[in-house]
Structure 1
């Protein structure tokens, strides 16, 4: 058998790449209905995420169009952002919004519904500028045909321009069911005093909007391919098999470059605690490595809080099991690692500190390239889930 070199599907965005692997597709121009050319580039913006860049151009009429689409997995939860715009610096905050981001300004009774605009990387002021441009593009003909409606739009545009000039304080609210939405924190790593971020569980309708369905909802799955839901071997993927086998390996995709990779999974028992599932993924294409620990049992009735005083070097060697929902705080350093940050880990006190420092070095103040970075007082926000969510 001949070996085939695997390259990352999403490469770093760089002008030095000699072969960016641009895909060209002949497509219809929506302006003159002639044949144009669409170019697709799968790339990875440093410290952001995997994206698909699309560029269309028509030689007949000169029409051009550019779009950006996320190339990664949806987050496990939806996200809501609430920014209190009080200073001119707030207008310059970076905002990343996907196709499923809903934008609201309650003070102006203004809303941009989800899926009404394409995803983009912009600023707070850019959101208002795009809204003003969209409202005023047909005002010339509207004033001639519908003068009353044109006057109402002009009045509302003046209110938007007032918000753009920051005549008074206002609030920007973003809601994204996909979880791929972000607002920059210019004060990072300190806590953002004017911006709040909360997560929410998606409804069934929102899951369907994103194309997420359960096996029960796919009614024709058993008829078309029963093996998708029912294993042929009764002992296949059972709990007993996980206990008996030493290491299970199954194919998946790299959470960083999306190239084919293999994930190893092992069920083990931590002494004096419980059984856990250890998963590790190594990508041969880009070298990305992930390891994660998940509980092998159910959720306990009550939460638990541990306080460890590190007084000697021996305390750094204490074994620590950190779950996905575990938060960590070091008051002396004013450091707070939020829930689901760093993923689940079975490590030591020193190992957690090293992992936190490593992600701080690779994650800038306004985003991250992958995973869930540590959060200083809730200021930084993760972009992508770790392996467990991206391979679901």
Structure 2
């Protein structure tokens, strides 16, 4: 293959998961023949691989039967199962909360304690809906065959009518209620109408999955093997011998001194389009801090460039909080290490970014601000054309203020809060001097923060 053909092949590559665009003449839909669940004759299912801003990659499926007219649509998550499950508690107080968009997978359970409503996971297919849509779907399910039920089982029908009346009261907001979504796969999303500010009515909790939950998702560990218990005693001595034999080899192969000057490469998938690409990884040491692993990825298919930082040490004994006053170009040049557990906040803009939004990265103050701006600018108008004008105007105003900050016209205070204590901000003062624009505070973590980091379940004595 000539270099010209190779260039043309690379240019013709398109991301597997692309943004929905009205100007895209080739949306890459796939049609497959499938059986109709209503008349059992052949129909057509259309598949579209796309992305939801601020969320993940999804597969949209639409079915239509030309024989009986039956139609259905479904959404499935195409992203990997997350490391932790997610529980979202939304306090519904007004019509705006009812209109919040919700993305849920097959593994999402839904409950409303006020009316004792519980929808188990895997009982409904994943979908893109709203809070009101979840209630409306429940009412439709209860109403089905209600006329026949009134004749054959009048008492049960009367109880269902009374319960439907309660659900309609929720839709009419006659009282406040709490919607609880829990997903062991971690692939759920609830719209934040206050973006880019934090959501005062929504609480998000990440939790460690139990073994039985991992098995539901198809995740198994070597200990789950049927013969694991039988072979435990036989393998103990051999495993000890292997560790003793491999220890000097591992120390030579993975020694810190050797890795400090070496760049390792491994295959991975692009986080935007899902195409295969290479990630470069290097171990380095930040002065006055600790060793970190820096990873950089460039996708040749969609051109996405990402970098990520993993701390080489464990969780520190105390959390750490930085307040950086950004007033001039010198402040923009500070080195910043933001770990995966560090959240960002700019009080002057009422803008707050969660720990998982930008990931871990080693950059400067300017780089952090540019990354925050780019994420809001590229994916800020949630669901694009369907976004409210008020949200669009609010985001445009925030982006304009980011431009003023980057032009040194608007001084702000950037706050980095890391409960794990694995973040770092460079001081511009000399050793014996105090940096007036940098405040560093160490604090004791709360129970909830330890729970988020998985420290409450760790037992280090008498185990």
Under a length normalisation based on structure 2, what TM-score does the superposition of the two structures give? Answer: 0.70
1:211, CA displacement in angstroms? Answer: 2.3
- After superposition, the C-alpha distances for 1:314-370 in whole angstroms (9 at most, x for unaligned) are 3332222221112334444444433334211212222222222222222326589xx
The aligned residue for residue 105 of structure 2 is 98
Is the contact between residue 257 and residue 286 of structure 1 (CA under 8 Å) also seen in structure 2?
yes
How far does residue 63 in structure 1 lie from its aligned partner after superposition?
2.4
What is residue 301 of structure 2 aligned with on the other side? 285
Matched, 1:27 2:38: no
Conserved 8 A contact 2:58-2:78: yes
Residue 202 (structure 2) aligned to one of 195, 219, 223: 195
Matches of 1:328 and 1:47, distance apart in 2 = 16
Asked if 1:82 corresponds to 2:89, the answer is yes
Change in Cα spacing, 1:310 to 1:35, as seen in structure 2 (3 Å) is: closer
- In 1: Cα distance, 2:34 partner to 2:83 partner: 34
Worse-superposed segment, 124-133 or 32-41? 32-41
Relative distance call for 1:312 and 1:68 in structure 2 (3 A) is: closer
Per the TM alignment, residue 194 of structure 1 is displaced from its structure 2 partner at its CA by 2.5
TM-score of the aligned structures, taking structure 1 as reference length = 0.82
Counterparts in 2 of 1:220-231, with a 5 A limit? none
Matched residue, 1:357: 373
Maintained 8 Å contact 1:81/1:196: yes
**What's the counterpart of residue 272 of structure 2?**
256
CA 73–57 in structure 1, closer or farther in 2 if over 3 Å, else same: same
Match of 1:213 among 210, 216, 220: 220
How far apart are the structure 2 equivalents of 1:313 and 1:27? 61
Cα 1:323–1:47 shift into 2, 3 Å: closer
**Residues 300-309 or 98-107, more deviating:** 300-309
Q: 1:204 to 1:109 in 2, by over 3 A?
A: same
Contact in 2 for aligned 1:188/1:365 (Cα 8 Å): no
Kindly indicate whether the alpha-carbon contact (under 8 Å) linking 1:47 and 1:367 is maintained by their aligned counterparts in 2: no
Q: Is the 8 A contact 2:53 2:379 kept in 1?
A: no
Match of 2:426 in 1: none
| Structure 2 residue matching 1:99: 3-state secondary structure | coil
Which one is further off, 50-59 or 159-168?
50-59
Task: Indicate the residue corresponding to 2:437 in structure 1.
Answer: none
Aligned to 1:381: none
Specify which structure has the higher proportion of helix: 2
Runs of 5+ unmatched residues, structure 1: 222-229, 369-375, 378-392
Q: Answer yes or no: is 1:328 the counterpart of 2:344.
A: yes
Q: Is the aligned partner of 1:13 residue 2:28?
A: no
Q: Do the aligned partners of residues 256 and 143 (structure 1) sit closer, same or farther apart at CA in structure 2, a change above 3 Å counting? A: same
Gap regions ≥5 residues in structure 2: 229-241, 385-413, 416-463
CA contact (8 A) 1:94 1:122 kept: yes
Distance in 1 separating the partners of 2:20 and 2:381: 19
Which residues of 2 match residues 306-317 of structure 1 at below 5 A?
Answer: 306-310=322-326, 313-317=329-333
User: Residue 197 of structure 2 contacts residue 351 of structure 2 at CA under 8 Å; is this kept in 1?
Assistant: no
Residue of structure 2 equivalent to 1:302: 318
Residue 107 (structure 1) aligned with residue 114 (structure 2): yes
SS at match of 1:12: coil
1:243–1:72 CA distance, 2 compared to 1 (3 A): same
Aligned residues: 361
- Output aligned runs, 1:127-276, within 5 Å: 127-217=134-224, 238-240=253-255, 243=259, 246-276=262-292
Q: Compute the RMSD of aligned alpha carbons.
A: 3.1
Give 1:47 deviation, angstroms: 5.6
Counterparts of 1:247 and 1:85 in 2: how far apart (Å)? 50
Q: Which shows bigger deviation, 178-187 or 109-118? A: 178-187
What is the CA deviation profile of residues 48-106 of structure 1, one whole-angstrom value per residue up to 9, with x for unaligned ones?
A: 53221222233333322221111112333222222222222222222222222211111
The structure whose RCO (Cα within 8 Å, separation 6+) is larger is: 1
> 1:248 deviation in Å?
1.3
Whether the aligned pair in 1 keeps the contact of 2:340 and 2:359 (CA below 8 Å) is: yes
The answer as to 2:354 corresponding to 1:347 is: no
Distance, in Å, in 2 between the alignment partners of 1:73 and 1:116 is: 21
Work out the CA distance in 1 between the residues paired with 2:166 and 2:148.
22
Q: Work out the CA distance in 1 between the residues paired with 2:40 and 2:280.
A: 51
Aligned-residue offset at 1:292? 0.4
Contact 1:185–1:366 at 8 Å: present in 2 too? no
